[in-house]
Structure 1
Amino acid sequence: MRTVDPAKHQARRRHILGVAASLFAEKGFERTTTAEICKAAGMSAGNLFHYFPNKRAIFFAVFEDDGEDKAERLAQALAADDPWDALMELVDFLAAPAAEPLAPPLVMEAMVQAYRDAELDALLSRGNADEHAAIAALLTKAADAGQIDPGLDPNDTATWVLALIATLYTSAATTPGFDPTEQVATLRLILRRFLQAT
């Protein structure tokens, strides 16, 4: 029986996800075929299905693979001594992928597919719920520390913080010339003025 090298297996899996993500971002999930993914990945369908059972599983994996890193960053933010600094660093972390060429169109495509696929919607909702909970907890800590307006409801405010971050992605995907990197400073300024207003 042939043994599988875990490092090679993981590298091959990442390669498939990389080429598939490019195709999904360019053409959308529905218009991307398994044959196109195989061709771009340089492998046969049989080889591809050794890593993923179908195209839908590949699409899901594109959005699942950053979960571990994100969970670690959320935990670091919650454990930080200064909740305001931790909040701003978390905003930067969540906003950063918007500057990557593939991320905004992939996010838009995920939103479309989640409307049609309850399982994908649940997957994305879990990730959003984790982000929301971390931001709400940091807002509570920052209010307790006198760093932000204590009159703000942390759950409602966390929803608005995430909505502003999401706007970087949707604007990058739909507005020609919109540069998310240039807008992060404005986002931080908006949050500072809103959250710290008394």
Structure 2
Amino acid sequence: MRKVDPARYRAKRRSIMDAAAPLFATHGPDGTSTAAIRRAAGVSSGALFHYFPSKRAVFVALLTDEEGDNADRITAARTHEDPWQALLDLVEHLAAPAGSPVAAGLVMEGLRQAQRDPELAEALETDSDTELEALTHLVTRAAREHRTEPVLGPRATAGWIQTLIGALFLRAATEPGFDAAAHVRDLRALLSRLLGCTTG
């Protein structure tokens, strides 16, 4: 029996997801056929279903952290020696995809689909809770080490940071010409000012 190379398997899954992303962002899951995904990815039907059991599975994988990308960044952030720098870097990582029209469109489509798909809604909530917990942890550490002086408690502060990140995706999806990259930089500066970052 031939062994599966995990790295190659993951890379192929990612290539299919990347090919499907603009289709879902433009047409939504209902308007995107399995055949369209197969053609965009350049794979046969058998190959597509080898990596994903259904069209919906591709869509869910794009919206959640099935590949573990965010999990890896969160783990690194939580153990970083400088919690303030780790907080800013994690915020930038979570907000950066807003610079992609495809990513912003996917997020909006995901929110629409979640209203009628409880399983998807639960998966998105789980990812959101994981991110919130990590942000709360970093705000707590930064305050304890006197790197920041938030007006609100750590969890409330983390919640507002999440809200600001979400607003970037909303604006990127609805405002033509929205410069998400510039606004991510502005978000870092805003957090430094609002949280009263210190250097001591």
Same fold (TM > 0.5): yes
Q: Distance in 2 between matches of 1:167 and 1:28?
A: 21
Q: Distance in 2 between matches of 1:190 and 1:81?
A: 23
Q: Distance in 2 between matches of 1:176 and 1:125?
A: 28
| 2:24 matched residue in structure 1 | 24
- Residue by residue, what CA displacement relative to the aligned partner does 1:19-49 show, whole Å, maximum 9, x if unpaired? 1112001111111111211222233433322
| 1:117 matched residue in structure 2 | 117
Give the letter aligned to residue 92 of structure 1: E
Secondary structure class of the residue paired with 1:102:
helix
Give 1:1-198 correspondences, 5 Å limit.
3=2, 5-6=4-5, 8-64=8-64, 67-149=67-149, 151-196=151-196
Q: Distance in 2 between matches of 1:9 and 1:134?
A: 29
Could you tell me whether the CA contact under 8 Å between 2:63 and 2:107 is conserved in 1? no
Q: Distance in 2 between matches of 1:139 and 1:72?
A: 19
Secondary structure class of the residue paired with 1:116:
coil
Could you tell me whether the CA contact under 8 Å between 1:144 and 1:150 is conserved in 2? no
Could you tell me whether the CA contact under 8 Å between 1:99 and 1:181 is conserved in 2? yes
Give the letter aligned to residue 191 of structure 2: L
Q: Distance in 1 between matches of 2:82 and 2:161?
A: 18
* Bigger mean CA offset, 43-52 vs 169-178: 43-52
* Bigger mean CA offset, 100-109 vs 188-197: 188-197
% same residue: 46
Q: Distance in 2 between matches of 1:131 and 1:38?
A: 32
CA drift of 1:9 comes to: 3.9
Q: Distance in 2 between matches of 1:46 and 1:129?
A: 35
How many residues end up aligned between the 2 structures? Answer: 197
CA drift of 1:67 comes to: 4.6
- Relative to the length of structure 2, the TM-score reads 0.89
Q: Distance in 1 between matches of 2:148 and 2:43?
A: 54
* Bigger mean CA offset, 164-173 vs 185-194: 185-194
Give the letter aligned to residue 77 of structure 1: A
Q: Over the residues paired in the alignment, what is the CA RMSD in angstroms?
A: 2.1
